[in-house]
Structures are given as C-alpha cells and as structure tokens.
Structure 1
C-alpha cells in the first residue's frame, strides 16, 4: 500500500537517521579494540584486567533497558534520542580525565552504554511505527548500518589515536557522538509528521482535508492491524502493570527466551575467532581481517535474508528460526574448519546470517502488537544484558578447561540451535493464547 498517510515517504528519512544513529552509538562501542593497546601502555595493566571494559557499556546499557523504555514512553522518541547522544558525549569525554582503570571503566561504560541504549529504544520505536510490510527490510538496514559503522568508526578512532593519543581520541569521538543528537531530531512520531517542518513532502491542507486523512488513517490501519496503530502510546496503566500483563503473554515468553539464548551465543565467535586463528599459526595481520569479514558479510547478508523473507512472505519468527538454525549448524561444525579458508568461511557465515536480531524484533511487533513494542523490547534488552555477561564468560571457562576454543564454538552453536528449535512452540502456544 503506497498511501501517503499510512506509509509517508518520510519513513525512509527516519530509517536513514536511525541507521546513522545506530552506527555512531554502537560502532564507537564496538571499536574498543583500537583502544586496548593504548590503555595497556597507559595504565601498565594486564590485558585480562582491561578486556572486560569492552563488554561493560553494552551490558550496562541493556540492563537499563526497562528504564529506557519508561523514558521513551514518557518523553517520546525524539527527546530520548537527543538525550542519548548527549549522555554518550559526556561519558566519552570524561574518559579524558581517567587516571585509573576503575575510573576508565565507569566513564567508558555507564553513560555511553545507557545513552546508546536510550537512543536504540527511541529509534527502534520510530522504525516500528513507520514500517509495516517492509519491517524486516527496515531492521536489516539498521543492522547493515551497524556493520558499516564498525568499519567507519574503527578507522576514524585509529586516526584519532595516531594523531592525538588515546585521550584526544576520546574527546574527538565524544564530539562525533553529538551527531547522534542531529539524528535524533529526525525521530518524529508518525502521527506528527504530516505538517512537521522537517517533512520535505508536507502538503498544506485545508481543515477538511486534514480530517479526511485522519479518518482514512484510522480506517486503513485498523483494518490491517486491528488496534495496533502508533507505537509510543501513553497508557493509563503504569509500567509495572503493563509488564505483568506482558510477562503473562506466552508469545512474549517464547520470544524472550529465544532472544536470551541467541545473545548468550552470538558474541562468542566475534570474540574468540581472531584469537583462535592466531593460536593456529595465522599471521596477526591476516587474523585481524577476520573481524572485518564479519562486517562485510553482515552488510551483504542482512538485507539479503530480510529481502528473501519479505519476498516469500515468511513469518518473521520462522525466518528467525531458519536463520539461527543455519548459523548454529555452521558454528557447531566450525571447529573442523582449521585452515585459513575454513576460518574465513566461519566468519562469512556468522556475518551473513547475523540478521536474527532483526527478525526477532520484527516478531515482537507482529506477534505481540506494535503498541506493546517499547515495553517488550525494554525487557528483552535487560535479558540481553544478562546474556552478554553470561555467555562469553561460560565460553571462556570452557576454553580454559579444555585448552581449546573448539568447545566454546560448539557451546555457542548448540545455544543457537536450541533457540531455533524453540520457535516451533509457536504452533501450540497460538492455541493456548487463543483460549486465554
């Protein structure tokens, strides 16, 4: 449907702004590998002592997901998107004054992590409100933006470090993070975009035309999606009341468990594959290209898998299940691919089939309802924060116990396969929910 009210052309600008915000927020956080050597020299601390700092921002931010969800519901996506950029700026700039590892860990983790997730919830809600049929494609564009951001911000951060030291790099990267505020300006709710000054396609309408369009919007969206109209709706029920109702929803429980298992597993190949290659005798410069291969494959794979699922009209949960099953099988068998081509094959497969997160977010809107997206996604982020801490930690224990990364990869693959298999519960749960 190409109706300008139900599907305003502005939605593509909102999607581009969201993708840029995603790449800036999380691209900076995931480029921490550029800073590790500088921190080791500056603080004279062992690598194992500093390595945990890289995962702290995402974990802390995700655990604050429910709080971020309440803020988005209360103050709106646009305000929270801008506030997230400001928090990221303050946090990264404060790293300049770090004189100890604990100070650095707090400065680098708390405000940037919460700021990134606050922005994430804001633009995810905006994209969820604008995109209906193309929702999977929109999520893949966001994911592709993140992959591109990993390249761009890592390159930029390296240049900053070479020219201005790591302290100067933190100040400059904080300044770059202010561009998130600019992106946040474009997080305009769908219901307010028709006459907004930033809408390039706004039309000056008479009062009668405006009322006709509002009536048309209500009829068209209700006929397609029931009561699921705009995303960020003010509810008379409090957050805790809405959350209790949400946790009673069997579909939400299914999605939350699948998402939790995925995030326990997902980061393990990204963290361990490069080090595994070095232990197998691969030259460090060549092994470093494995990280880049993840990103390149993701840029290609995310829109490809989303486009196929949209073209063949596959339900997002089934698309997620297929995606995770292929990814899980590849990860389980990856310990047998010890040659250089085999290692790069692992990186390509993991990157190409990295759109599972886009499918699971789409499943939330389709199965639970767009009006419940913010609350559901907030709790999913909280569980993701726990999973991000638990999964790599358990994988590290397996690697230490076996003196090999093989069982870490098998552990990751089995979690992904379990997550894919649990999606089959949708069929009986659909019957259960019908009786509630």
Structure 2
C-alpha cells in the first residue's frame, strides 16, 4: 500500500466521527453569499421595493385623510385609523411573511405582496364608508406591503455577508428616496385628478403593482448540482464505513441534525455500498431536499442582522466586554477574516426526538406544517419572560406611536404660516426623506464599529427626535420646520437601522430571529394606535398642539427608558447564571441521595 493510499484510508477513518461529518456536510451543502455579482441586482430590487412601500406609507396619508374627513363626514381619528391599520399590518404580517419566505422563497412572496397590496387599493375605490377602507386599504394593502418589504430585506442577508452593511444601506436608502419623490409627486397627481381620492387610489395601485417588476429580480440562491452530489457522496461514504450502530441516531451522543436528517431520508436507498435499482436518482432528490432546507432563510440565525458578519462575534459580546476590547477584537477579526461565511451562523434543523433522546423520524413535509414551524420559531414565548427584552419591545411600541405623526400632520402646523405654497409644505417631508438617507448611511458605519454602542446612539437620537417633536407647536417661521427635520430624521433612521444591532448586543445571535418576530408585533401595535390617538386629541382640542406634545413625549420616553437596558441585561444574565448554578448543586444532591438509596436497597 502506498503512502497516498494510507493517507486516504486515515482520512476516511477520521471522517467517520459523526460531528466531523456533520461539519463537512454543512460546509459542502451551505450556499455561501457571493458578496457581489448578481447580488447587486438584488440590492437594486430591494431599493425599489423599499422606495415603493415606504414612499407610499409615509406620504399618502397627508392627502387622503383630509379627503376622507370631508368625503365621509367623519372625525380625524376615524380617518387616521385607516392609515394606522395600513402601517400596523405592515409590521404585523412580518413574522408571517418571514415564514412564507422560508417555505416559498422571497421572490414568490414579494410578487404576491405587490398584487395583494394593489388589489387592496383598487378595492378601496368603491368603498361606501370608512369601515370598508379599514379592511381594503388598511388590512389587505398593509398585509401586501409587509409581504413586499420583508423579502427585500431577508434576501440581502442571503446574498451578502462581509459587504452586508453596505448592501443593506444602499437598499434601505430607497425608503428615503421614496419619501422624497412621492411627497412631491403626490401633490402633482392630486391636482391632476382634481382632488378626487378615488382616482388618486388608481395612481397608488399603479405605483404599487410596479413592485411586481422589481420583485422578479429576487432570484433565490440555490445549491449547485455538484454540491448536492458531493453531499450525497459524503453520506454514502459515511454509511459504508461507519461502525454498526442502532438504526436511529442518538442525539444525546452527537449533535448532528443535518447528517441525521440525510440518513433518514436516504435510508433504504442503498445497501452495502451498492445502489439498489433506480435508487441513484431518489438519493440525489432526497439529498437535494435536505440541502434546500439547510439554505432556507430562517436556517440562518443572522438573517435579520443588517451589519457585516465579520462584526457579529464582537457585537454579540459587547454586553460583557468593554469598547476597547471590542475594538481590539474587531481588528483581530479583520486581520484573520476567512473567505467563507462562518457556519456557526447557521441554525440547526428541527427534528423529532423521542423521550430517550433518539431520532425517530422526520414528519412528512407539508406547507402548513412548515409555515407553522417557522412561525413557532419566530414567536418564541420564552423571550416574553425577559425583563430587558420586554423593555426593548415596549420602547419600540412607544417609538412607533410617534413615528408616522409628523409625516401626516406636520402640514397642519405649516398652515399657520401665511403665503406658503403646496410645494413648500411638501418639501418638509421630502427633506425628512433626504436626511433619512444620510442618517442611514451613518448608521451603517456605526453598525460596523463594535466599539460604538448602538444602544447609546439610538437612545440619544430618539430623545432628541422626541424633544424636537414636542417643540413643533411653538414654531412661527418656515425655517423652524426645516431645522426640525434634522433631529427627527436622525431619530427615525437610527431606530430603523440600528434595531438589529441592538438586538444582537442584548439578546445574542441565537435568539435574534425569535426576537425580531415579537418586536415586529409590538411595533405594529404602536403603529396602529399612534396616529388615531394624535387625531383624537385634535378632535377634542381643536388643534394638533397637544398631539405633538404627547407624541413627542412618548418618543422621548422610548429613548430614555432604554438607558438602563444594558445594566438590566447584565443583572438578568447574572441572575440566570446563579439560578443555573443553584439548580446544578440541587441536582447533584438529588443524584447523591438516589445513589445512597440504591445502595441501601441492595444491602
């Protein structure tokens, strides 16, 4: 036997360790983000989808709500509920849209979303009353917008790793561009349709359905045929050379979910290294399904993280390391960065485990089961028992209460200044859009600097934005409103762009997807109640002064209440550590007592 043959045999023997094989399978089966190439077409598509969705949500309210008040003879609060349901369901549908992306793919979900949203707007045209608009304009169109937005963000994390911060930053700039463009374009269209809100909805539906073309670019990343065949080869080699063990792998001995799933799906398709008739194709098909599962969006723990993956390790430890240590850690990472995406950012498969720890079977796949499992993983109730997470979630609710109010009602305060044209009034919203772009670029820089606390930046930005909102009723000159746009734009940009970074710092990578599903729900509540609350105050007081005082105060509180969040999280982690240590001591005592009783019985 030659030295080369000995080396091959030694390699085969070494590779029979299940956990080593598991690692090899994941390395071969994982589709690494290309960090470029067609990924830039994905960024362009995401940019356009963000432009359409946020451009419509942020700008149409100031035109349609007054028209509904006059047309239906209703209160400001009743009219505001329509826009709030639209923006609320944009968030509420987030977990469901994520689950759909996991099952059907991002492109199919975004295509469906554009159709649903456009249909919702068209169905609103013959609405006989405001309550019908709650269903068509609010719920249906809002759900469609959520299905357009989530895929546009999720798919960037599949195509980009080290350049993800840059890619995401470019994509979300579509939000600012959309706000800027539609704030001016809507006024032109409004005059063109002679202030007929029903004709204006045809224009809104047309803009929305254009997202269909953008969504067509969201091509999914798939494993190559050579990858699938290589995975099949590794599994077959493992089956041929492994020691004889019970038929069901034991999860108590090895953490090998991908390997276990492959073994179960290919069981019976080969025997003693010789393929049974017609089994080659079925093995490849079985392996292809498992490889597809490995590369589903929610199989990545970092799927909702918008920063570069080279910073995840440093960011996820900033709760326990100081900023100097984080900076040093980041330098080390950049000096020794690998070309492939770290596989510790992959989640593990959900497998059915018996009481004795053995893997029993994999349930027959079904669409509803897959969607249900994805939703279950996203909405982890364990996080609701975390005081620090609940504080962060409540802060998000308060922020969203104020989030849309200036976009819709700032023009009412501008009416106090005589001689302003419609274009000048709309320019304030456009300016918020432009400044939002600049602020989001700055947030992208912060996301890639672990030595800078994203939480502190977020808190300061929200407090300043809230205080600025509270001062709006005192403005007497046009330039006052232009100055207001600066802190408010920075506040909303930091909130939107740094949310995933803050979650990573506080909750960690493992629970990040779960946290986002719940946070979207909390933010949806704030989006639903905020604008109607502001409008109700106007109905009661006769002006929007109180509305801006209260909404600004809520945003200020949302930033201030997160100041002790880092210390609260450390206390929480220390409490859990002490509890675990106590449980371990008690378990040891019970074990010793049990052993003593057994000895006495034997005696």
Task: Using structure 1 for the length normalisation, give the TM-score.
Answer: 0.78
1:14 aligned onto 2:46:
no
Give the deviation of 1:409 after TM superposition: 3.0
Give the deviation of 1:322 after TM superposition: 2.9
- Of 386, 392, 410, 2:549 maps to 410
Structure-1 separation of matches of 2:461 and 2:400: 14
Structure-2 separation of matches of 1:325 and 1:350: 10
1:268 aligned onto 2:405:
yes
Structure-2 separation of matches of 1:166 and 1:397: 22
Give runs of aligned pairs for residues 110-129 of structure 1, distance below 5 A. Answer: 110-129=139-158
Give runs of aligned pairs for residues 304-315 of structure 1, distance below 5 A. Answer: 304-308=442-446, 310=448, 313-315=451-453
Structure 2 contact 33–158 (Cα < 8 Å) conserved: no
With over 3 angstroms needed to count, the CA separation of the structure-2 counterparts of 1:138 and 1:412, relative to structure 1, is farther
Tell me which residue corresponds to 2:502. 363
Give the deviation of 1:141 after TM superposition: 3.5
Q: Considering fraction of residues, name the structure with more helix.
A: 1
Residue deviations 1:369-401 (CA, integer Å, cap 9, x gap): 556544433322222221123233444455566
Tell me which residue corresponds to 2:52. 24
Give the deviation of 1:140 after TM superposition: 4.2
Residue deviations 1:105-138 (CA, integer Å, cap 9, x gap): 4222222100111222222322344555665555
Structure-2 separation of matches of 1:83 and 1:155: 28
* Cα-Cα RMSD: 4.0
Residue deviations 1:192-236 (CA, integer Å, cap 9, x gap): 35759xxxxxxx999779x99x9xxx9xx79965765258x8645
- Of 478, 481, 504, 1:340 maps to 478
Give the deviation of 1:89 after TM superposition: 2.3
Point out where structure 2 has 5 or more consecutive residues left out of the alignment.
1-30, 235-290, 292-299, 301-308, 314-341, 352-372, 578-603
Residue deviations 1:310-342 (CA, integer Å, cap 9, x gap): 357424323322322332343344444433221
* Runs of at least 4 residues off by over 6 Å: 204-209, 221-224
Structure-2 separation of matches of 1:273 and 1:181: 32
Give runs of aligned pairs for residues 67-216 of structure 1, distance below 5 A. Answer: 67-131=96-160, 138-155=167-184, 157=186, 162=192, 166-188=197-219, 192=221
Count, aligned residues: 416
1:430 aligned onto 2:570:
yes
Residue deviations 1:80-110 (CA, integer Å, cap 9, x gap): 2222112112212223443444334422222
Tell me which residue corresponds to 1:200. none
Structure-2 separation of matches of 1:253 and 1:227: 30
Give the deviation of 1:22 after TM superposition: 1.6
Tell me which residue corresponds to 2:345. 229
Structure-2 separation of matches of 1:40 and 1:171: 20
Give the deviation of 1:17 after TM superposition: 1.6
Structure 1 contact 259–360 (Cα < 8 Å) conserved: no
Structure with larger Rg: 2
Tell me which residue corresponds to 1:330. 468
Structure-2 separation of matches of 1:417 and 1:340: 24
